[in-house]
């Protein structure tokens, strides 16, 4: 029996919902003093929790999943900051009152049968990538619910990415339309161009059009670097950025081998259909 695991990029979902709930209060300038600001804050958090719960219900109903897990980032800086201090520099931090509300939202998710996994030193993206690839290796289906483009390199016949807010799947055609390459070439593309969203630099003077053209011609970054036919100007740019290329690629690549320490059956949504302890069951699969 095939399993279908839905992985929720939890903070991607929650922070976007929070922004929607907060926006009308900010636009209407209701926060006129500290007392009203606190009341407004509580109202926004209450609305956010309800909206997150409703969103999760809709996701589970739409996906018809056998298993689900909400994956959260740690509140502590991940390993990427140790490699590169400017990682995600300038990105707006999550408000402290929303961070304090996360356990309540996690409890609400659990009421729907969806447990939460919180990263310790890796990012949620790394945990999701590890879970997705482990499932794919066993021929099971995975849907990642997120708008984060960083998951696009994972696309495969058994790994799908769903944008809940726009109600669409981000598939190979989406990658082709947006980047003009294949999903498997995305890490190479972003290594060349940089990733402004996460403040990861690329090779100076190489933009997306040039990078995509090179990848379509040579197939991979490795082949580009080893080519003797590259234009001298581009070759010089690449040679001058060899250390940056290595660092950027490491920052961009999601881990896929994190020890998880639990079984697929531990995150199963419906236990009524298969209660066998048969080790061959996909529901007893170690992750």
Interval 242-269: pLDDT, tens: 999 999 999 999 999 999 888 889 999 9
- CA 45 – CA 53 distance, rounded (Å): 12
Helices (H), the chain: 10-27, 34-63, 79-83, 96-111, 124-137, 172-179, 186-193, 208-218, 221-226, 232-240, 242-252
Q: Which of 83-97, 169-183, 244-258, 271-285 has the lowest mean pLDDT?
A: 271-285
Domains of the chain plus CATH, in order, are: 4-175+254-272 (3.40.50.1010), 180-252 (1.10.150.20)
pLDDT at residue 121, as a whole number: 84
Q: For 4-34, how does the pLDDT look when each residue is reduced to its tens digit (9 = 90+)?
A: 999 999 999 999 999 999 988 876 655 444 4
> If you average pLDDT over every residue of the chain, what do you get?
91
Structure tokens at 271: 């236990």
pLDDT at residue 1, as a whole number: 61
Confidence of residue 148 (pLDDT cuts 50, 70, 90): very high
Is the C-alpha dihedral spanning 112, 7, 62, 277 positive or negative?
Answer: negative
Confidence of residue 286 (pLDDT cuts 50, 70, 90): low
pLDDT at residue 29, as a whole number: 57
> 3-state SS of the chain: helix, strand, coil percent to 5?
55, 10, 35
Residue 203's contacts (CB-CB under 8 Å, 6 or more residues apart) are: 191, 192, 193, 194, 237, 238, 241, 244, 245
């Amino acid at each position: 029996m095939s399993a279908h695991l839905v992985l929720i990029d939890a903070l991607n979902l929650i922070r976007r919902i929070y922004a929607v709930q907060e926006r009308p209060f900010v636009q209407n300038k209701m926060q006129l003093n500290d007392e009203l600001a606190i009341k407004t804050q509580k109202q926004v958090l209450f609305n956010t929790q309800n909206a997150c719960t409703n969103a999760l219900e809709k996701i589970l109903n739409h996906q018809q999943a056998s298993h689900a897990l909400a994956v959260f980032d740690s509140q502590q800086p991940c390993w990427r900051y140790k490699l590169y201090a400017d990682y995600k520099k300038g990105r707006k931090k999550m408000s402290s009152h929303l961070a304090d509300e996360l356990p309540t939202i996690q409890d609400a998710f659990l009421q729907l049968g969806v447990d939460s996994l919180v990263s310790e030193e890796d990012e949620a993206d790394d945990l999701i990538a590890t879970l997705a690839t482990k499932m794919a290796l066993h021929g099971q289906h995975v849907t990642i619910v997120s708008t984060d483009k960083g998951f696009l390199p994972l696309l495969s016949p058994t790994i799908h990415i769903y944008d809940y807010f726009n109600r669409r799947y981000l598939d190979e055609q989406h990658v082709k339309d947006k980047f003009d390459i294949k999903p498997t070439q995305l890490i190479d593309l972003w290594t060349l161009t940089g990733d402004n969203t996460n403040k990861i630099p690329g090779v100076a003077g190489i933009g997306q059009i040039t990078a995509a053209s090179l990848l379509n011609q040579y197939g991979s970054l490795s082949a580009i670097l080893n080519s003797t036919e590259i234009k001298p100007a581009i070759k010089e740019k690449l040679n001058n950025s060899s250390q940056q290329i290595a660092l950027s690629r490491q920052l961009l690549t999601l881990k896929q081998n994190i020890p998880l320490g639990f079984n697929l059956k531990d995150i199963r949504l419906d236990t009524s259909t298969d209660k066998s302890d048969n080790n061959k069951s996909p529901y007893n699969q170690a992750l």
